[in-house]
Structure 1
């Protein structure tokens, strides 16, 4: 990874929490990635990590629950890369039932192993797997509905992917390296299948430790536009929705705390679902028809300077007006009727 990191010239813009008076208001203004140094340095989780991996493991073990979780492991030969197998007939790691207490025990055993297998618990609601975590390690990040989750493991490399929600990722223990790309770079990242994915989101097929530029030549263009950030315990990074990010955890014990929120009411649908439906309905039409539908989408969906309902009397505006919760329910019912025909 180091050789690739050296090819990235642009650092993610940094701020320090001491210079931010209102974190939720500050984050609400951001549209590109930023690093916030020291954003969670006051946490007991972080303070224990400053002392040692052993203290950090002990701290988390004391508040971990026995609730069942999904854990993942990859053999040492994979060097922490959670990905597909060689011919993409399966994944190169396994999933197993565990709980956070058991996972922490396993991670303790790997601390003194020279080349251990990798283990992690993916993003899991903190109130579920460690109910006291958010009480003891508080952080107010947004006025929107927010999900707080924990990522716990040892060394790992997670392929470049995007998320549908805004994300403030805070390092509770260990270190993290993020390589980020704007949504405009999607053509240069060589994205894999939408249905068969390692963790639910489509990923870049490029190995960031050893990129094959013969197979993925446009990836050079992506690197020219990439940003990089290296975080230590107490630091956080804001990643706007739809920004691609490759994440590496380098330490023997790592904790990442994710705050997820959408800048939209909960009753609005997931845009990814709309894209899937559009692929089903539009992708394979003749090009002339796709061009016409593109104009329709620009008119009805993407334009911000048109008042779609200006010429319509109020009681029949429907979804051409502002969409409230009641209207959203009617649209869902209409879609279900059409999809079930």
Structure 2
């Protein structure tokens, strides 16, 4: 059922660590960055946070998405889905915030959005001046723009996103709602992961009737400067940003770089989806036996360790055997 997220006090670092370790549900982390110098600058006004970022600009150009006024800040496909409704420009941080200040109050202002820039590449001292009190092992990424709406999408890594300036509303859906979210193209995406075709701010229930069920399960988080949200992997989230100059930093962490679940899905779509029902059913039993079933980790207990091969327990040697087997199998056209 739809509702608001559970909350953790930003000062309770142990509780946040336990929540992240469980990796089951998202949560608001209220006030975790309340003492950041960047948040203090944001509370002093648009000019102050603009000056803070400009003073730390190392001159590297950012990729800035520019949406015309008629898009209402929603970065998305064109109506015919042959392209996107925005263009991109290059400019350093100082030029971006100067332009955002100049656009304040303009009735026909375009939407500007620079997203997912590692802070060492734009505002190098940010992370040391504004430390997250939980060690994620990664550098933060910074997102700067004016009012925008980002279509529901997911991350394959865990995510802690901290609002620095402006306000943000996150609307989340559990991974199980994928069938009710009308996912768009998986290989030709807007800016990364596949997105839902539904606009949660203005849902077209006639066109997307199953979305009504997704709405029953949505969770909403309204965040102010200094607040954060923790999202486990694969949770869908729509993000609406308000304000003439809003800033967020996020930390994607915990994703193994030697695992390729989405590639495995694509290969399964290619190899299994169009098989006759009886064969697909047979392959479902294989996947349950070796991947998803409760006994998958014990599926080869009857074999001595030296005979388990690619079915054996995790190890660098086992992983190398799996990759070599898949690559060799594909190169041979499936004959070996």
Farther off after superposition, 14-23 or 254-263:
14-23
Any unmatched runs of 5+ in structure 1?
Answer: 1-7
In the superposition, the TM-score normalised over structure 2's length comes to: 0.93
Q: Distance in 2 between matches of 1:198 and 1:232?
A: 27
**Structure-1 residue corresponding to 2:309:** 318
Any unmatched runs of 5+ in structure 2?
Answer: none
**Structure-2 residue corresponding to 1:242:** 234
Q: Distance in 1 between matches of 2:315 and 2:102?
A: 52
Q: CA deviation at 1:335?
A: 1.7
In the superposition, the TM-score normalised over structure 1's length comes to: 0.92
Q: CA deviation at 1:290?
A: 0.8
Spell out the pairing of 1:160-309 with structure 2 (5 A cutoff).
160-262=152-254, 265-267=256-258, 269-306=259-296, 307-309=298-300
**Structure-2 residue corresponding to 1:5:** none
Does the CA contact (< 8 Å) of 1:190 and 1:204 recur in 2?
yes
Q: Distance in 2 between matches of 1:31 and 1:178?
A: 17
Does the CA contact (< 8 Å) of 1:163 and 1:243 recur in 2?
yes
Match of 2:7 among 10, 14, 20: 14
Does the CA contact (< 8 Å) of 1:308 and 1:321 recur in 2?
no
Does the CA contact (< 8 Å) of 1:91 and 1:198 recur in 2?
yes
Q: CA offsets, 1:257-297, max 9 Å, x none?
A: 1111125x443x12111111111111111111111111100
Does the CA contact (< 8 Å) of 2:8 and 2:15 recur in 1?
no
Q: Distance in 2 between matches of 1:266 and 1:171?
A: 27
Residues 325 and 67 of structure 1, relative CA distance in 2, 3 Å threshold: farther
Q: CA offsets, 1:295-326, max 9 Å, x none?
A: 10011011243412312222232222222223
Helix, strand or coil at the partner of 2:248: strand
Q: Distance in 2 between matches of 1:19 and 1:140?
A: 10
CA RMSD of aligned residues (A): 1.7
Does the CA contact (< 8 Å) of 1:169 and 1:238 recur in 2?
yes
